[in-house]
């Protein structure tokens, strides 16, 4: 029979029923391995890299999550992304997750041939500073691309684009 000592190491040799030299060798191996026992500092040193890597990964995730929350992301758009609008939309309304810096935020709407479809300058709603209004010209049928950029009041920038279709 093979015997393992407290460290999980297999003791040398097979043990006869009555013990014998092999048993003594196994006991000596177990006693010698007592010096191999991890002390508190050794155990702490072995665990510290794991704990440190865990703490660092959680910290990095926390920082990246905090940074992503700090940006003004597009929350809702009217007309919606990929939607088909019947009739003539009067404006594009973009709602963001944070208040916008009016002087640094804007959008443009382009027709299928790249022509401007805005009837005026984009404007941040003074009452609800998370909303950006883009007035539109009378539009023809086709696909329109909305290209937006937003700077939140804490100076983080985000940008994006989407399309919608105007049907007769």
Mean pLDDT over the full length of the chain: 78
Strand partners, 4: 10
- Taking the C-alpha atoms of residue 111 and residue 69, their distance in angstroms, rounded to an integer, is 32
pTM of the model: 0.59
**Averaged pLDDT, 36-51:** 55
The residue among 26 and 117 whose pLDDT is bigger is 117
pLDDT tens digits, one per residue of 125-161: 999 999 999 999 987 899 999 999 999 998 999 999 9
Question: The dihedral of CA 113, 115, 118, 124: what is its sign?
Answer: positive
pLDDT tens digits, one per residue of 101-119: 999 999 999 999 999 999 9
Q: Where are the beta strands (DSSP E) in the chain?
A: 74-78, 84-86, 91-96, 106-110, 123-124, 131-135, 142-151, 157-167
Side-chain-side CA neighbours of 19 within 13 Å: the count stands at: 2
pLDDT tens digits, one per residue of 52-106: 666 666 555 544 444 445 689 999 999 999 999 999 999 999 999 999 999 999 9
Query: What is the reported pLDDT for 168?
Result: 86
CA neighbor of 120 nearest in space, from 128, 129, 132, 131: 132
The residue among 22 and 75 whose pLDDT is bigger is 75
Number of H helices, E strands in the chain: 2, 8
């Amino acid at each position: 029979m093979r015997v393992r000592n407290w460290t999980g190491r297999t003791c040398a040799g097979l043990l006869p029923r009555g013990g014998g030299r092999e048993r003594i060798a196994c006991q000596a191996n177990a006693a010698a391995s007592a010096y191999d026992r991890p002390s508190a500092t050794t155990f702490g040193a072995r665990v510290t890299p794991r704990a440190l890597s865990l703490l660092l990964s959680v910290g990095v995730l926390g920082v990246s999550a905090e940074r992503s929350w700090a940006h003004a992301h597009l929350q809702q758009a009217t007309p919606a992304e990929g939607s088909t609008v019947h009739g003539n939309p009067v404006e594009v309304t973009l709602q963001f997750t944070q208040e916008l810096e009016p002087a640094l935020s804007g959008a443009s709407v382009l027709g299928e041939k790249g022509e401007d479809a805005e009837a005026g300058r984009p404007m941040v709603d003074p009452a609800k500073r998370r909303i950006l209004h883009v007035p539109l010209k009378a539009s023809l049928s086709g696909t329109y691309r909305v290209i937006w950029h937003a700077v939140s009041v804490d100076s983080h920038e985000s940008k994006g684009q989407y399309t919608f279709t105007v049907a007769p």
